[in-house]
Amino acid sequence: MSMNILAIESSCDETAAAVVQDGTKIISSVVASSHAMHEKYGGIVPEVAARMQLESVIPTITECLLPLGNASQNMREKISEHIDFIAVTVGPGLIGSLLVGVEAAKTIALATNKPIIPVNHVLAHMYANFVRSERNDSQQINGNDKMTQKDNREIQFPAISLVVSGGHTELYLLNNEKEMRWLGGTIDDAAGECFDKTARLLGFGHGGGLAIQEAATRYKKTDISPLPGKALPIPMLSNEHVLDFSFSGLKTAILRKVTALDEQHLLSDDMIAALSYEVQETITDVLVKKTLKAVALHNAKAILLSGGVSANLRLREKFLQKIALLAAPVDFHVPPVSLCTDNAVYIASYAHFRGVPVPVTEVNATPDLSVEVLS
Ligand code: KG4
Ligand code: ZN
């Protein structure tokens, strides 16, 4: 018999709900984003994010349930009849935002008498790789998604999983669909944060890594001379921090470079494109190198890439290029772009494969929930 999970995600500035069958089949998925609201403040304002979550949560869940049952049924009837478990992100994330999803999920679980599963957002990201993709992903960038997504192959274990998002850059070893161990992570900024801060410095507002990616593509088409001065530092490639990351030095180097160029009136569009290219190359180099190091150390058979930054086309391309040079074959899995950035599909998938139902009273928003799984 199949099992349907209704998942709710509200850890940051996206409000998302999804129904997923058996952890792999998307029945329905809705994402409402308050990105645009944050644009004018130059970053996410937690109070604004929380207020937007509150406005969006019921419409998002209602829309997500539309494909279930028939039009005459209300939300409660649909859930009672078609849903087996409620899953919800409890952390890490912004307290005000998390509370909205958590309280909504608890209320639904109590009203419908369904078991509830608390989910760690960062660990859940990697389960986007377990979801079967229908190849009609409307959010593909440049149609290039097919290039890196070979459909629905079974995942070979042990696998190395890199979760690379706005707040996290973490490496895990997976022995099967459930057992995982944290191997290392960023000791300061996350890769996504470095993309986001660079985007703001270069005048792309809240456009983040996607804006950098697009500008970097323009660079290749121009014939501007290489950047003046030293290349950007590649952080933490030494052996002592073999599977840790650090991006704060890179961020400072970019700040210095942009400030100097600005003072010399050299910050032209072409220069911005060149800088975007260089930043993207540096960040993606580190991510690929560290992940391949983890693969070698653990004799892994597969790589699972996930998190918002895994939407980056250059990162996907670089992984494929480097993996092709390896002596032993390694499978590369990356979700379609629409499942890389925040949504509730992977929350449901995680709940299916690794979640444990708990009493409603034990489900609490936990902003600083640890991602360092040790067993
Ligand atoms: O996973 P996510 O949606 O939210 C968090 O859990 O943090 O990740 C958001 C991050 C942001 O830093 C954003 O700039 C980055 O993902 N991102 C990208 C791209 N698309 C989103 N970074 C690089 N290239 C992209 N195409
Ligand atoms: Zn995320």
- The span from the CA of 279 to the CA of 281, in Å, is 5
The preferred substitution site among 210, 317, 339 for testing ligand 1, maximizing ligand atoms within 8 Å of CB, is: 210
Nearest of 365, 360, 362 to residue 114 by alpha carbon? 360
For ligand 2, a single-atom ion, which residues have Cβ within 5 Å?
165, 342
pLDDT per position as a tens digit, 213-272: 999 999 866 666 556 555 677 766 666 668 999 999 999 999 999 999 899 998 999 999
Question: What's the rounded mean pLDDT across residues 289-296?
Answer: 96
Whether the CB-CB separation of 365 and 102 falls below 8 Å is answered with: yes
**Is the CB–ligand 1 distance for residue 91 below 6 Å?**
no
The predicted structure's pLDDT at residue 137: 42
**Is the CB–ligand 1 distance for residue 133 below 6 Å?**
no
- Closest ligand 1 atom to Cα of 307: 1
Question: What's the rounded mean pLDDT across residues 73-99?
Answer: 96
Whether the CB-CB separation of 283 and 247 falls below 8 Å is answered with: yes
Whether the CB-CB separation of 15 and 101 falls below 8 Å is answered with: yes
- Quote the tokens at residue 154: 């079974």
List, as one string, the DSSP characters of 182-212.
EEEEBSS--HHHHHHHHHHHTT-GGGHHHHH
Whether the CB-CB separation of 8 and 348 falls below 8 Å is answered with: no
Taking CB atoms within 8 Å and a gap of at least 24, the contacts of 176-181 are: 177/130, 177/353, 177/354, 178/353, 178/354, 179/375, 180/123, 180/373, 181/373, 181/374, 181/375
**Is the CB–ligand 1 distance for residue 346 below 6 Å?**
no
Could you tell me the distance, in angstroms and rounded to a whole number, from the CA of residue 121 to the centre of ligand 2?
6
pLDDT per position as a tens digit, 95-152: 999 999 999 999 999 999 999 999 999 999 999 999 997 644 433 333 344 434 445 6
Distances (CA, A) of 368 to 52, 64, 100, 237: 21, 28, 16, 28
Q: What does the radius of gyration of the chain's CA atoms come to, in whole angstroms?
A: 21
- Closest ligand 1 atom to Cα of 208: 14
Nearest of 16, 223, 178, 4 to residue 100 by alpha carbon? 16
**Is the CB–ligand 1 distance for residue 92 below 6 Å?**
no
- The span from the CA of 74 to the CA of 76, in Å, is 6
Nearest of 90, 50, 83 to residue 68 by alpha carbon? 83
Question: What's the rounded mean pLDDT across residues 282-307?
Answer: 96
pLDDT per position as a tens digit, 155-182: 999 999 999 999 999 999 999 999 999 9
Listed in sequence order, the DSSP H helices in the chain are 35-39, 46-65, 75-82, 95-112, 121-125, 145-148, 191-201, 208-221, 248-263, 269-297, 313-324, 337-340, 345-354
Question: What's the rounded mean pLDDT across residues 346-368?
Answer: 98
pLDDT-derived band of residue 46, with 50, 70 and 90 as boundaries? confident
- The span from the CA of 102 to the CA of 11, in Å, is 10
The preferred substitution site among 147, 165, 186 for testing ligand 1, maximizing ligand atoms within 8 Å of CB, is: 165
Residue 122: is it exposed, middle or buried by C-beta count within 10 angstroms (0-12/13-18/19+)?
buried
With tokens 């121009």, the residue in question is 222
Whether the CB-CB separation of 193 and 184 falls below 8 Å is answered with: no
Ligand in nearest proximity to the CA of 13: 1
Could you tell me the distance, in angstroms and rounded to a whole number, from the CA of residue 244 to the centre of ligand 2?
19
- The span from the CA of 315 to the CA of 286, in Å, is 10
